[in-house]
Structure 1
Amino acid sequence: MTRKELEGYFSAREAFLLVRICYNGLFHVKRINPKLLIIMKLEDSLKYEPTAFTEEDIETAKTLKEKLQALTTFQAYTIMMLACSFKGKQNFTIDDVGEAFLAA
């Protein structure tokens, strides 16, 4: 799935949540399936950092997980690279992330 093929697949809120869960992680995708990695990262973030998420975030995460499970390994890798492109950047907004992901 190329960036263009992603157009409209995620909402801006879902894309922002992806960036939040990938922001502080280091990933070695040759050792673990990127799809599994993103899903585990999502589940772990919600489980171990519950105060960092609102009720709306939790609802968004449910939809996001379903969408992630439908992806191929390569599609998940593409999404991970998009999310990780925000590493080291500060003061980005949900609109910035939505634009990068071509969100609906």
Structure 2
Amino acid sequence: MALKNKNLQICPFQEAMDLISGKWTMSIINTLMAGKMRFKELERSVVGINTRMLVKELKQLEARKIVSRKAYATMPPTVEYSLTEKGMLLKPVLVEVQAWAMRNVE
């Protein structure tokens, strides 16, 4: 992530790319566009991701306020993940990327 310094101009484009550049980030966001999901449900939906990496990516997305985590006091513990309002603002970006991929990726 770009260092923030009073004397440096922060490039908004670079900040956005830093935010969504993880290998699994966009897949997780895209999956959560469908709505709230429990951890195991999300893990099964993001093809190819392992548990450790999903936990890491979710923590980063939560810290950046893209994903919301809600834990319920049940046995065993239940955790649901969903997109925040900020995360939902990425929907038009994802739609355009998918449209481009359908037209140009063979």
Higher strand share: 2
Give TM-score scaled by structure 2 length.
Answer: 0.41
Give TM-score scaled by structure 1 length.
Answer: 0.42
